[in-house]
Structure formats: structure tokens, C-alpha cells
Structure 1
Amino acid sequence: MESKWLAMVLVVLSLGSGLCDGCLEEERFALFQLKPFFEFIDYKFQDLINNIYEKESSSNCCEWERVECNPITRRVTHLFLNYSSNMEIDWYLNASLFLPFEKLQSIFLRGNFITGCVANQGFERLSSKLDKLENLDLSNNHFNNSILASLSELSSLKSLNLAGNVFTRSNPTNGIEMLSKLNNLETLDLSGNRLGNNILSQLDGFASLKSLRLEYCGLEGTLDIQESNNNWMKLKELYLEGNEIESLGSLFHGKEGMKLNKLEVLSLRLNFLNNSVFSSLVELSNLKSLDLFFNKLEGAIYTKGLRLMNLKHLDLSGNGLSGNGFNSSILSSVATLPNLKTLRIDISQCNGLIDLYGLSNLEELYMASNSVAGNDCGFSLQSLGLFPTLKTLSLGGFNINETTMASYSHHSKL
């Protein structure tokens, strides 16, 4: 019996021999090796607005806000080093400093003025030992195309954020397509890099992508795909906000277009798209969210031929939708979307009363009238009687009298 107790004690001692205040001693040492470059690694997340810095009081690095450990093994699994450098000039990272953290799953390095890696000490050094690394955030730094070959060796990556760097239009030998070697990559953010329209063809080989962000990437004019291998079959989310896109061209249809059968979220807000955009969406039958905020939509819209039976969220606000036939053209088109839950829409001109018959499944409605003087734009609250599930109602610029309002004051959900 005593021998069994002795054996258990020896096991406990052997497991704890590498621990230092809850951390593995070698990993605690490695954290302080990072401190000259990430000064605030042992500080709590600072209050950036009030410029308040609070140092960690615990000597247990696993209790620090910027460090997350496995609760059983006490190995470091996540490093949250966003905005943790006090350097305000460009500097080069020695990525091999992360090698001691063999169970590392996530590294967040957002906003640290990093311009590249030390020669022969790039991210490729991590590929052999950090085989659990799935999430890497390098956004809001100063990385350029020279880092791509190094990143392409991190085969375990599932999420890569390169937004807000200085990647540019490139030739086939140093372009974003080098990252297509990352066969497990599911989420890619390239927003805020001036990549141009060619980026779409360069990304065609990313077969595992589920979410892609190309916001503010200098896309312009017509988005035509010369030839597609249809490797975006798994893509569920596509964000193209803040470009200068005038037409989706053959991006989503035609024999060259991407066959995005699983696309559920499409953001096209803050572009130059006109009413013809709807004809480009006919094959996106699984779309659940469509954002067309602040484009060039004008007059009436027609959704005939669209198969958006699963669409739940639609944003048409910030456009010039108008016309005396608002009910019969615009709203009747929207009414063909049977599962719509959220609708945002602005009306630039209308005369008469607007009603919403046919949109009985709405849960949230945000509607604003921007009619100029002389255009009487009213709203029929009686039509809301057909909205048993409505929970949120926002109306701006409409003529709604107190009597009409009182008649709807007892809606059970609002």
C-alpha cells in the first residue's frame, strides 16, 4: 500500500517539476524573451481611450489576460499580443521566439508596426514544431508580399488575417496565390490592401475557404473571371465592402463564374452597383444575408427570377429607391422573399401611403423616408397587423398621426 502512495507522489512531483507558479518554467522564460518586443505582454488589456496601463499582479503567466493555457497541461495555447509593442517605428520580427510554445494554437499580433521577419527567422521556422497553430492575426502591420512564401509553410493554419498591411498587385511568383498551399485554410482576410481585380483569379485555388474578406481592396468596375476552377465551392461568407465595383459581371454566373452553391452571406455595401446587380445573384440560392447599403440603386427594383428562398436579412438602405409605385414595385419584389426576417430600406421619394402587406414574417424593420418637401410619404400602421413576429420597428421621416399610432400601441411583440 505504501509503495502505491509513494509511486503516486513521485508521479505528481514529476508532473509538477517543470511548473513555475502554474506555468511551465521554459514557457514562462520564453514569454519574457518576447517582452523586449512586446512590452505589454505582462500587462492587462490597456484602456486605449484613457491611456491606462495596468501590470499583471499574478506571477502565474496562465492567469495573464494576454496568455491562455490549457487548464490541464498548463501549456500556452493562445497569445493575445495585439497592440502590445511600444515601438512606433517599423521593426522585424524573429518568429523563432515562438518555438518554445509547442502547443500554441493562436497568435494575435495586430497593430504592432511589424514590417517583416528577421532573415532566416520567418514563420517557416514554426512549421515543424507548431503543428497545432490554427489562427494567425497579422493585421494592421506593415507586412508586404515578401512574407507570403514564409506564411505558405504553415500548413495547419485555418484562419489568417492579413488586413491593413501593404500587400499590392503582384506577379505570379510573389502573389497571394502562394498561400493556396494552405490546404486547411478556412478564413482569410485581405481587407485594406490595394490588390485590384486580379486578386479574384489568384484566390481561385483556395479550395477550403469558407470566409473571405476583400473589403477596401481596390476592386473596381466589372468583376469578370476569365476562367474559374470553381474551387470556392465551400465558401459561405464573402465581404466586398468599400470598393468601387460597378458590376458583378461573370463573378457568380456564366460558364466562367464561381459556382458558390453554399454562399450564405454577401456584403456589397459601399460600392457603385446599380439595379442590374439583382440579375447577377440568380444562382445564389442559399444566400441568407445580402447587404447593398449605399450603392447606386435607383427608382424601382425587380427581383423576378431570383431564387433567394433562404434570404433572412436584406439591407437596401442608403440608396435612391423611389417612385409612386413603391408599393407595387419595390415592396412587392421584396415580398417574394418568404423567409425575410430583417429589412432595412430608405425611400427617397414617394407620394401616398406605404403598406407592407406580404411581408408577414418580418421580425425587424428599419425604414426611413428621405422625401423632399411636397412629397407626402405616409405609413400604414394597419398593415403591421399582419406582422405577428415583429419585434423591432424603426420609422424615420414618415407622416404618422397620433390616432394611427394609438391604434397600434398594443402590439404584443414590440
Structure 2
Amino acid sequence: MFFKMLIKTVLTALALWPVVLSPVPVRSLSPSLNDDVLGLIVFKADLQDAKQKLASWNEDDDNPCDWVGVKCNPRSKRVTELLLDGFSLSGRIGRGLLQLQFLRKLSLANNNLTGSISPSLARLESLRIIDLTGNSLSGSVPDDFFGQCGSLRAISLARNQFSGKIPGSLGSCSSLAAINLSSNQFSGSLPAEIWTMSGLRSLDLSGNLLQGEIPKGGFEALSNLRVINLSRNQLSGELPDGIGSCLLLRSIDLSENLLSGYLPETMQKLSLCSYLNLSKNSFAGEVPQWIGEMRSLETLDFSLNMFSGQVPDSIGNLNSLKVLNFSTNRLTGTLPESMGNSAGLLALDFSQNSMTGDLPGWIFRSSMQQVSLADNRLSGDAKVPISTVTVNSLQNIQALDLSGNDFSGEIPNGIGALSSLQHLNLSRNSLFGRIPSSMGQLKILNVLDLSHNRLNGSIPVEIGGAYALKELWLESNFLEGNIPTSIEKCTLVTCLILSQNTLTGPIPVTLAKLTDLQDVDLSLNRLSGTLPKQLANLPHLLSFNISHNNLQGELPAGGFFNTISPTAVSGNPSLCGSAVNRSCPAVLPKPIVLNPNSSSDSTSGELPANVGHRRIILSISALIAIGAAAFIVVGVIAITVLNLRVRSSTSRSAAAIALSGGDEFSQSPTTDANSGKLVMFSGEPDFSTGAHALLNKDCELGRGGFGAVYRTVLQDGRPVAIKKLIVSSLVKSQHDFEREVKKLGKVKHPNLVALEGYYWTPSLQLLIYEYVCGGSLYKHLHEGSGENYLSWNERFNIILGTAKSLAHLHQSNIIHCNIKSSNVLIDSSGEAKVGDFGLVRLLPMLDRYVLSSKIQSALGYMAPEFACRTVKITEKCDVYGFGVLVLEVVAGKRPVEYMEDDVVVLCDMVRTALEEGKVEECVDGRLQGKLPAEEAVPVMKLGLICTSQVPSHRPDMGEVVNILEMIRCPSEGQELG
């Protein structure tokens, strides 16, 4: 007990100390205290341990050697290693670590630590390794940080937010062998002191803002250097000759800089180098003949430079070469035959050069997996090299791009032997003949592009065998015949481009089965017949061009076709509908005449005397209408009866909620549809007006994709919101439902709507939430009065709060999947609270099509990967939805605006405005002159980055939060923190 009190006293005293990581003078307090226990407890006090990973850290223990993440010397019981990688820790690196006098390795990588770094940290005499990779540390590294670095051998500050100059004291750390400061915001020039560190083996300064030249005297002293990475900076000038003196170099990456000039000949001495990447610079001259001397090269990337001339024959000496990329240069001549000696070559890219000659056969005789020779001047018969090789040698190639050349001849039928082929692009050549039927043998082919050639004949029916196809490009050929119905087997197709051919016949109704279709172009053909009405059911359609054909009849109604562009249907004189501004003619069938002079025995033909001798003329449509009306009347009666029964059942279920003390709230599952299980995560499950609320439309707050929401009041007077799931029939398992709901109930955050309980019966499921009184963000943005609108400060706080809530959800392994302004509520203090999170987890049996139609009410909210069954739904879908939300908040416009004759997608509008330098014009007009442009414009740019079409290009939500806090000026940023 005394020890606990002493610890708390020390912690209280330390909390008042202003100096971070200053020494903790506690040895004099009691000689029996374990410095390591005390130091780690003090260190823990500065952290937030969201996942309770440090629960085993107990201040009453004699030593910390059994604590999670702690390693000790088995004899002395002193801490030698602290390994807390990926523990989801937040907070600051506190002063407690300075008590660990025998600490050799410190790894706090991949957490969310913030604040600056203290110069005292590197002064621990025993410390050999510091790894702070992947946190949110910021500020500059103190000039004297490395001044007394003791025995430090390796340090990594990668993937943080450090800025300023790299301290020159780095050079005084003679024991350092590995330095990684990559992916920060360091600026200025490379410190001269680095080039004196003779013991350095690995140097990574990539992904910063470094400028200037590499000193001419650099490299000479770095005789032990194995790895150097200076990529993704702004370095300029020539590459110094001294690089050839680093004979032990294995990896060189200087890509994405502004380097220029010729390559120094001394590089040929680097016989141990296996990785050389100089891409995206301005290096010039011919590819040197001596490149063949670097015989250990496995990856050679000279792409996006200004190299010219022919590829030297010596390149064939690189027997270990696996990846060769010379794309986007000014190379001429032919591919050297000597390259056939590189038997291990896997990837070859010479695209966008000016190379000539035939397609070499050795490409198909090796273990090649990816080949791109696009946009050159290669020629010859494309059939020859493929036809002259054996089937076994074609099993490895996965991507073949020969587009934009002068190849001629027919596509060989042997193309079907490329069983591993996933991407085939032969477009923009002079190929002729038929599309070989063997294309159907390519079972994993994703992309087939044969456009802009001279192909003729019909599209082979065997194309349906390539059932993994996602994109089929056949435009600008001489194809004829019908579109094969077998295309329905290619269920993953998103892009179908068959324009500018001579195709005939109808558009097959089987296209409507391709539910992933996004872009269809059948224009400039000779298609006829009517459009299948089922096409209106395609859920992901973005474009559908059928212009300049011979189609007729009415356009499909509903879905995409309600907003189809007139230009996409023009040139079809017999088409009708609003899109072509031509009304469809009414179909009036010939009337049926009942002849009064008929002598039929069954019907006399004479009319009743009270009617008179008038003829009765009834058209078929009239008869159908009469029958339909009778059917509707019967149906209405039947539905009314069923509805009364359902309402009665629902009333009984709702009444169960209204009762607070009865047996209706059984704490065990029940199969009785009239009773259920009510669970509140805190407090008593008592409602005062529950049943009334569920049955009274006046208490309804709104409806969404998953159900209606009602307001009711607990007996203690506290209001709650109840979501009645309309998809409850899909939730079959009570166990699964309760398991997922209880997980969601544990997720707490100031910017999340708290889930307080649930109610279950097999036919009715309710979720009980805290009641947020301020209404939705959507109403504040789009339904408020002209004078009552959100200020810029309120909007920024809402954006930041939403970002923090999503970051917290992602840390809890929960994907929201439905981020939009109607799911963001505003409380009485103006704080954002995100609702409807985790509902997708309640419906595991729903496929992506149902989800996308349920939870995405507009195309503008949807991440592109929702439309592709083969792409995994990840947290980056939420990042996309958040980006749309950011633009909606700043611009004050809906993500998709449906005009009279146009559809405006907000992301596209802002992106266009940014390209034209008019992004400020996109800001909500009510905020003009009332907001800081230095905040609004970066926020909009962040929104555009979040809506990148490629998920990997979108930042994580944790990074988004950090960026938003940096956008705010320092004083406000501290308040937000």
C-alpha cells in the first residue's frame, strides 16, 4: 500500500513538471524502489491505452519483466527492450523512459503518438535502437538531438509529421549505422555532416521536401553504405562521381527528383548493386554500355527520363535481371536479341519510346510475366512470334500491352494458350482478320482491348468463356453480326465498348444480367429493334451510348435512363421518349364489334329492351383496363386485411416495450412473436411512451435505408431514438444479431451517436440510441433558412469531429459504409455525431448489390469499389464518403444535383474548378467574405484527395485528422486538440 501511495505521489508531482523527458530524481525517495517499474508507470500515465494492451503493467510488481512488451536481462532483471509496436497507443512520449538506464531497444512504431521529440531521449547511454515509425509526432527535431547520442546504432522517425531542417548534429553520431527519416516534411538541403559518417550502412530520407544538390564530395567517405534512398524529394543537379566509391551498395533509389545530366561512369564499379531506380528525373544521354557490368542488378528502372539512342547489347549480360523499365524516354532502334539471355526476366516495359523493328520471339520464350511495348514504332506480323513458340513457354505471361504500334496480320489462334493472361491490349495497330475463338479459353482475363484495328467478322460466341472479363474494348473495327448473348456469362464486366463497327440485330436482353456494368458504348453501328426494358434495372450504370443506330420504340423508364444525355441516344429516328424530345405514338388496336344480327346460340345478339338497339364497341385495351381494375380492387381488399393483421402484431410487440415490469422483457431468447428480449446497456429498460411512439407517425424523426427512427422517452424523462429495422426479415439469427449489437454498444466516442440498447423478436428488431436534438447536417446545409446557416467555424468543427469519429471506428475495425450528411447529427453544442455506424455488420447475408442499393441513396456518395464485386470493401470506402461530405459542407451543395437537362456531380465540379484555378468560387455563397481562404481551399483539396478513384491514393482517417488540425492556425489547433 505504501508503494502505491508513493507511486501516486510521484505521478502527481511529475504531472506538474513542465519539462518533457527531463530526468526523474526518485532514487532518494526509497532505496527499495525499482527504477524500471517506476519509469514505465510514469511513461504509461502519459498514454491513452484504448485497447488495454498495457493492462498487465502493475505498479505493485517487484519488476516489470513479465509485462506485455517488456524484455529484461535475465540476470539483472533490468529492462533492456520496450516493444510496443501497433498497440494503438495515443498521447505523448513522457519522461518516464529516462529511468530505463539499461534500455537497449525502444520501439513505439505504428501507434498514434503525438507531440514533439525531446533531445534527452537519445542520451540514454545503453540505447542502441530507436523506432518511432508511423506515429503523428510533429515539430522539428532539436539541433542537439544527436549531440550526445551515446551508442545509438539505428534510428527511425519515418512516417511522422516532422518538419524543419535535418539537424547537423546527426554527423556527430559516429556509431549510427541506419537512419530512416522518410515520409516526413523535412526541408532544406542535405546536411553536409551526413557525408562524413563512415559507419553508415543505410540512409533513407525519401518522401520529404529536401532541395539542392548532392555535394560533389559526397559518398567518398561512405564506404560502408549498403542502402541509399533519396526518392520523392526535390533534389537537383548531377549525380556525383563519388557514388562509385560506395562499393558495398546494394540498393539505390533516387527516383522522383529533379536530377539531370549523364550517369557517372564510376557506377559500373557497383557490382553488388541489385536495385537501381532513377525514374522520374531528367537524366539524359544514351544508356551507357557499361550498364552490363552491374551484373547483380535485379531491378533496373530508368523510366520517365530523357535517355536517347539504342539500348546497348550489354544489357543482356544482366543474368539476374527480373524487372526492367525504360518507359517514357527517347529510345530508338530495336530491342537487342541479347536480352533473351536474361532467363529470369519477369517484367519488361519499353512503352512510350520510338523503338522500331519486329516483336522479338524471346519475349515468349522466357519466364516473362508482364510485357509493355506500347506506343512505339514496332512493326511486323504479330502472329509470327506467338505461333513459333511452344505452349509450355506461354504459361507465365500475365499482362501483354503492344498497343500503339504498327503490327499487322491476324491475331493467332494460339493466343488461347496464354492461360495466365489477365491483361491483353493490342489496340491502335493494323491487325485484321477475325477475333480468334480461343479468346474464350482465357479464363482469368480481366481486360481485352482490340480497339482501333481492322478486325472483321463477328464477335465470337466463345467470348462468354472468358468469364473473368471486366473490360471489353472492340471499338473502331469492322465487326459485324449480332452482339452474342453469351456475353451474359461475363458477369463481372463493368466496361463494354463496341462502338464504330457494323454490328446489326437487337441489343440482347442478356445485357441486363450484367449488374456490374458502368460504361456501355454501342454507338455508330447498325443495331435495330427496341431497347430491353430490363436495362433500367442496372444499378451501377454511369454511361450508355446508343447514338447513330437504327433503334426504335420507347427508351427504358427508370434508373439511369431517367437522366440519360440526349447525345447518347441521338441519331435513332424511330426512338421516342423525353430524352429525344419525341413522344411515343399511342397504340390503338382495332375494336371488337359485337354484331346484334349474330345468330349464335350462346348469345342471341339482341340487346336488352331497356338499352335499345345500339352497338357495343369494346377495344382490347378497354377490356384489359376493366380486368385490371377488378384485380386492383380485390388486391386492395386483400392487402388491407393483411395490413390490419400485421399492425395488430406490431402493436403487441410495441406494447411489450411500453411495459416496464412485466414478463414481456424476458432476458432470454423467445420464439413468441408477441414478446421479445429488451436489453439496455446501462440503467433500467423502462419506457413511458414506447408503444405510442412506434405507432404514432407524429413521433417519427425520419426514414433511411435501414429503417424508420422514432423519438420516445424513458421513465426518467430522458429521450431516446429508436430505429425500427425494415430489413429485419433478413436477420435470421438472434445470436449473431446480439453479438454484433453488443460490439457496437461498446464503441464510445464524443462524435458518435451512442447505442444504448436493443430489442429482439424474430419479426421485429429495434436499436435504441441516444437522442440528438439538433437534427441532421443535411437539414442544416440544405433545408435551413437563408439567415440561419452554419458559420465556417461550425462547419470546420463538424468536419473535424466527423473525421475523428471515423478514425475511431477504423481503429475498432468497423467500417461505416454509409457516410453522408443525413447520417451526421448536430447536438445542442454544435458538435457532430455520426450515426448508423456498423449496421452493415448486422446483415451478413446481404450481398454487395443489395447493400449498395440500400445504403447508397445517390451515386455521388458511393466509392467506386462498391461497383466491383472483386474489390474488397475497406476503410477507404469511408474515406471516399467523407471526402464527398467535406465538399458538401464547404460548398453547401448536394453531392448530386439533378437539373432540368443535366446532372451535376459535386466532386467533378470542384475538381474542374481546381484545375481552372477557380476553386474558391465553389465555396457556399453564404460564406463569401466570411471565411479564411487559407483554411477553406486546403480543406476542399483534402476532400478531393479523399475522393480519389484509386483506394490506395486516399489517406487514412488518422492522417486526415492530422491534416485538418494542421490546416487550422496554431492557436485554434491547440483548442481543437
For the superposition of Structure 1 and Structure 2, which TM-score range results when normalised by the shorter chain?
A: 0.5 to 0.7
1:25 to 165, 170, 175: 170
Q: 1:332 aligns with which of 443, 453, 461?
A: 461
Corresponding residue to 2:267 among 102, 106, 123: 123
> What SS class does the counterpart of residue 124 from structure 1 fall into?
helix
Q: How does 1:88-103 map to 2 (within 5 A)?
A: 93-96=240-243, 99=246
What does residue 177 of structure 1 align with? Answer: 314
Amino acid at match of 2:521: L
Q: Choose which of 474, 487, 495 in structure 2 pairs with 1:345.
A: 474
Aligned partner of 1:71 in structure 2 is none
**How far apart, in 2, do the equivalents of 1:218 and 1:115 lie?**
20
Aligned counterpart in structure 1 of residue 343 of structure 2, from 207, 211, 221: 207
Match of 2:286 in 1: 144
- Identify unmatched segments of 5+ residues in structure 2: 1-33, 36-75, 79-99, 104-123, 128-148, 156-164, 175-181, 195-203, 211-225, 542-977
Aligned residue among 155, 165, 175 for 2:296: 155
Corresponding position: 1:316 with 2:450: yes
State whether structure 2 residue 494 is matched by structure 1 residue 364. Answer: yes
Q: Secondary structure at the match of 2:263?
A: strand
Counterparts of 2:314 and 2:381, CA distance in 1 = 24
Deviations 1:116-148 (A, max 9, x none): 31x6xx2235446xx6x6242256521324x34
The residue aligned with 1:32 is none
Q: Deviations over 1:32-67 (max 9, x none)?
A: xxxxxxxxx9997xxxxxxxxx95699999586257
| Offset at residue 11 of structure 1 (A) | 0.9
Which segments of 5 or more consecutive residues in structure 1 lack a partner in the other structure? Answer: 30-40, 45-53, 68-74, 324-328
Q: Distance between the aligned counterparts of 1:143 and 1:358, measured in 2? A: 50
Equivalent AA in structure 2 for residue 259 of structure 1: S
Amino acid at match of 1:309: K
Paired position in structure 2 for 1:270? 404
**Maintained 8 Å contact 2:429/2:452:** yes
After the TM superposition, which residues 223-302 of structure 1 pair with which residues of structure 2 at under 5 Å, given as runs? 223=359, 225=361, 233-242=366-375, 243-248=377-382, 250-254=384-388, 259-279=393-413, 281-298=415-432, 300-302=434-436
How far apart are the structure 1 equivalents of 2:168 and 2:153? Answer: 11
AA matched with 1:177: S
Three-state SS of the structure 2 residue aligned to 1:142 is: strand
Question: Using a 3 Å threshold, how does the CA distance of structure 1 residues 366 and 98 change in structure 2: closer, same or farther?
Answer: farther
* SS, match of residue 287 in structure 1: coil
**Aligned-pair Cα RMSD in Å:** 4.8
Instruction: Provide the rounded CA distance (Å) in 2 between the counterparts of 1:134 and 1:254.
Output: 34
CA displacement at 1:180 relative to structure 2: 2.9
Structure 1 residues 160 and 257, CA, compared in 2 at 3 Å: closer, same or farther? Answer: farther
TM normalised by structure 1 equals: 0.67
Q: 1:47 corresponds to which residue?
A: none
Aligned to 1:393: 519
User: Is the CA contact 2:310–2:331 (under 8 Å) kept in the aligned structure 1?
Assistant: yes
Contact 1:261–1:284 (8 Å) recurs in 2: yes
8 Å Cα contact 1:233/1:259 also seen in 2 = yes
CA distance in 1, matches of 2:386, 2:294: 31
Which of 107, 110, 114 is the aligned partner of 2:254?
107
**How far has the Cα of 1:387 moved from its partner?**
2.5
CA–CA separation in structure 2 for the residues paired with 1:79 and 1:123: 17
CA contact (8 A) 1:123 1:151 kept: no
Structure 1 residues 136 and 258, CA gap change in structure 2 (3 angstroms):
farther
What is the identity, as a one-letter code, of the residue corresponding to 1:142? Answer: A
1:182-201 equivalences in 2 (<5 Å): 183=320, 185-191=321-327, 192-199=329-336, 201=337
Compute the displacement of 1:207 (Å): 2.2
In structure 2, what is the equivalent of residue 79 of structure 1?
230
1:190 to partner: Cα distance? 2.6
Residues 188 and 110 of structure 1, relative CA distance in 2, 3 Å threshold: farther
Partners of 2:242 and 2:423 in 1: CA distance = 39
1:1-12 equivalent positions in 2, closer than 5 A: 6-8=101-103, 9-12=124-127
- What is residue 820 of structure 2 aligned with on the other side? none
d(CA) in 2 for partners of 1:300, 1:143: 43
Q: Check the 8 A contact 2:448/2:473 in 1, yes or no.
A: yes
What amino acid is aligned across from residue 365 of structure 1 in structure 2? C
Shift of 1:360: 1.8
1:276/1:353 CA distance change after superposition, 3 Å: closer
Change (3 A) 1:376 1:231: closer
After superposition, the Cα gap between the structure-2 partners of 1:401 and 1:81, relative to the gap in structure 1 and judged at 3 Å, is same
Larger Rg: 2
1:289 Cα deviation after fit:
1.1
- Aligned-partner Cα distance in 2 for 1:239–1:314: 14
Inter-partner Cα distance in structure 2 for 1:249 and 1:351: 23
Structure 2 partner of 1:38: none
Identity, % of aligned positions? 15
Q: Tell me how far apart the structure 2 counterparts of residues 282 and 376 of structure 1 sit (CA, whole Å).
A: 24
Q: Distance in 2 between matches of 1:241 and 1:349?
A: 23
Q: Is the 8 A contact 2:207 2:231 kept in 1?
A: no
User: Counterpart of 1:72?
Assistant: none
Letter in structure 1 aligned against 2:293: S
- State the shift of 1:23 in Å: 8.6
Q: TM-score, normalised by structure 2?
A: 0.31
| Cα distance in 2 between the residues matched to 1:321 and 1:266 | 19
Describe the shift of the 1:309–1:127 C-alpha distance in structure 2 as closer, same or farther (beyond 3 A): same
Q: Which has the higher helix share?
A: 2
- 360-369 or 300-309: bigger deviation: 300-309
- Tell me, in whole angstroms, the C-alpha distance in 2 between the residues paired with 1:284 and 1:127: 36
Q: Which amino acid is 1:144 matched to?
A: E
How many angstroms apart in 1 are the aligned matches of 2:172 and 2:436?
61
Q: Does structure 2 conserve the Cα–Cα contact (< 8 Å) formed by 1:141 and 1:164?
A: yes
Residues 410 and 304 (structure 1), Cα distance of their counterparts in 2 relative to 1, 3 Å cut:
closer
Does the residue aligned with 2:126 lie in a helix, a strand or coil?
helix
Select which of 59, 65, 74 maps to 2:208.
65
- 8 Å CA contact 1:252–1:258 kept in 2: the answer is no
Structure 1 Cα separation of the partners of residues 384 and 289 of structure 2: 29
Q: Please tell me the residue identity of whatever aligns with 1:408.
A: L
Residue identity opposite 2:435 in structure 1: I
Q: 1:217 to 1:355 in 2, by over 3 A?
A: same
Q: Deviation at 1:195?
A: 4.5
In the TM superposition, residue 212 of structure 1 has moved relative to its aligned partner by: 0.2
Instruction: Name 1:48's counterpart in structure 2.
Output: none
Q: Is the 8 A contact 2:504 2:528 kept in 1?
A: no
Q: Answer whether contact 1:224 1:249 (CA < 8 A) is retained.
A: no
2:365–2:393 contact (8 Å) kept in structure 1: yes
Whether contact under 8 Å (2:247, 2:271) holds in the other structure is no
User: Shift in Å at residue 239 of structure 1?
Assistant: 0.7
Secondary structure of 1:202's counterpart equals helix
Deviation, structure 1 residue 215: 2.1
The 2-side partners of 1:164 and 1:57 are apart by 23
Who is 2:961 aligned against?
none
- Measured in 2, the distance between the counterparts of 1:7 and 1:290 equals 60
Query: Per-residue deviation at 1:272?
Result: 2.5
Q: CA deviation at 1:188?
A: 0.3
